[in-house]
Amino acid sequence: MHAPLLVSWLMVAVCAASGSYCLLRTRVAAGGTRATARGEALMGFGMAAMALPALVRAPPLWVWGAYAVVFGLAALRACVAVAVRGRSAGHHAHHLVGTLAMVYMSLAMGSFPAGAGSHGAMAGMGAGEVMAPAGMPVMTGVLLLYFAGYVLWAGSRLIPGIGAAPAGAPAPDGVRAVRGAAVRVAVRPEVTLACRLSMSMAMLAMLLTL
């Protein structure tokens, strides 16, 4: 991945903020909802780590293998959740696609030849320097189409009067009552959806630079 330096830092900030918000959600979530928040926090922080510019942190190739293992386990867990919940596993299915995309990007970055891997992590390309794209174009295109569709869907749900929850609506199932203004914000479904939208947009940007 070789995005401009500023874009890389913006993705780091967005993904880290999303991961932090998901950690906040674990304070009010219960049961399966808490597990979902933890999985999304892992996704946010993992994407932030992958987006770190190579000039600041150029990881060795084994780090990409570690990413693939971690997100492979997360994908396995999401797959189990989808199988258990069946037709009601909408968000778990989206999380499964996200973790598989992270595995794919990790393996693609780890496949760079020696000497290229240290400069392919989201940035660090010199002026005029050219690098062959990583990964499989067909798979990258499929993932781009999926996340572009999700961004459009989630964005439309945030338009007032279409999909946003009304003010004063009761907290969703699996949410505990906890005091604190910041924590109360974490139970609002539109904020959670905005967080997922932000991570999907960051995923789009990462795939475009692959």
CA atoms within 13 A on the CB side of 9: 6
So what's the pLDDT on residue 60? 82
CB 98 within 8 A of CB 77: no
Q: Above pLDDT 70, what percent of the chain? A: 68
Q: Where are the alpha helices (DSSP H) in the chain?
A: 5-25, 32-50, 61-85, 90-110, 137-157, 181-186, 189-208
Which range, 10-19, 27-36, 121-130, is most confident?
A: 10-19
**Type of residue numbered 144:** L
CA distance 206 to 10: 12
b/e sequence 54-88, b meaning 16+ C-beta within 10 Å: beeebbeeebbeebbebbbebbebbbebbeeeeee
The pLDDT assigned to 69 comes to 95
Q: Is the pLDDT of residue 4 over 80?
A: no
| Higher per-residue pLDDT: 103 or 117 | 103
> Which tokens is 129 given?
């320097």
- Contact assessment for residue 135 and residue 108, using Cβ atoms and an 8 Å cutoff: yes
Query: Residue 112 — very low, low, confident or very high, per pLDDT cuts 50/70/90?
Result: low
Q: Distance between CA atoms of 142 and 204, rounded to whole angstroms?
A: 11
pLDDT digits (tens, 9 = 90+) for 70-99: 999 999 998 988 888 766 667 888 999 999
Do residues 36 and 95 touch, judged by C-beta distance below 8 A?
yes
pLDDT > 60? residue 193: yes
pLDDT recorded at residue 124? 40
Q: CA-CA distance, 190 to 157, in Å (whole number)?
A: 8
pLDDT tens track for 34-48 = 888 888 999 999 999
HSE-CB at 194 with a 13 A cutoff on CA atoms is: 14
pTM: 0.78
User: What is the spatial distance between Cα 51 and Cα 144, in angstroms, rounded to a whole number?
Assistant: 17
C-alpha to C-alpha distance for 62 and 140, rounded to whole angstroms: 22
